[in-house]
């Protein structure tokens, strides 16, 4: 399933690009994601947790990150398994930055493949809505991290990170409910709009 999203960060492209190359900080900005280990050579082990109604799925696996500094673009390829349910997932993400008057536009194109029990929740509409919400939260977290004042070298040791972002799991059930409400609104709008 292919998903494409765009979002704007009100910061210069150089600053956004510098942060995007820092994988541990990027993972902290991504809801539901945890970095477990750096394996070297741009490979990482991590976990992404998604809650779909009463079921929580935690995909654990590896990802490879490739960056093209000249193009300010990159590619992430990852695979993971949920050990409880046996669900499997893979993702290939291409992203790029463009400087615009408002700051930086980030374009993200993903190809997502789900198999096993998690695939029944992988309907295109739900996955697109989930992706859009993840990217909205990610963009907000990214901007908060970029806007935070950097501590001086003396303060860095005692102050810890400038911004502590809460780890939040992805809640697909609330997304499903909001998608149903949006569909009903569209349905009634189309009926009453015709008369």
Of 38, 118, 42, nearest to 80 by C-alpha is 118
Domain ranges of the chain: 2-194
Q: Is the pLDDT of residue 117 over 50?
A: yes
Helices and strands of the chain, counted as H and E runs: 5, 8
CATH among 3.40.50.2300, 3.40.50.1220, 3.30.530.20, 3.30.2320.50 for 2-194: 3.30.530.20
Torsion sign, CA atoms 12, 96, 126, 35? negative
**22-31, 49-58, 87-96, 134-143: least confident range:** 49-58
Residue 76: beta bridge partners?
65, 93
Give pLDDT tens digits for 55-99.
678 999 999 999 999 999 999 999 999 998 888 989 899 999 999
């Amino acid at each position: 399933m292919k998903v494409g999203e765009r979002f704007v960060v009100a910061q210069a492209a150089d600053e956004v690009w510098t942060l995007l190359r820092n994988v541990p900080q990027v993972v902290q900005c991504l809801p539901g994601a945890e970095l477990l280990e750096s394996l070297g050579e741009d490979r990482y082990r991590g976990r992404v947790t998604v809650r779909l109604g009463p079921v929580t799925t935690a995909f654990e696996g590896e990802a490879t990150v490739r960056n093209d500094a000249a193009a300010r673009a990159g590619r992430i390829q990852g695979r993971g398994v949920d050990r409880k349910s046996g669900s499997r997932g893979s993702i290939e993400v291409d992203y790029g930055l463009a400087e615009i008057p408002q700051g930086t536009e980030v374009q993200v194109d993903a190809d997502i493949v789900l198999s096993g029990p998690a695939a029944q929740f992988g309907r295109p509409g739900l996955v697109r809505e989930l992706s859009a919400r993840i990217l909205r939260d990610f963009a907000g977290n990214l901007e908060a991290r970029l806007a935070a004042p950097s501590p001086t070298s003396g303060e860095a040791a005692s102050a810890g990170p400038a911004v502590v972002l809460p780890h939040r799991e992805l809640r697909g059930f609330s997304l499903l409910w909001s998608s149903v409400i949006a569909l009903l609104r569209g349905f009634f709008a189309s009926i009453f709009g015709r008369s």
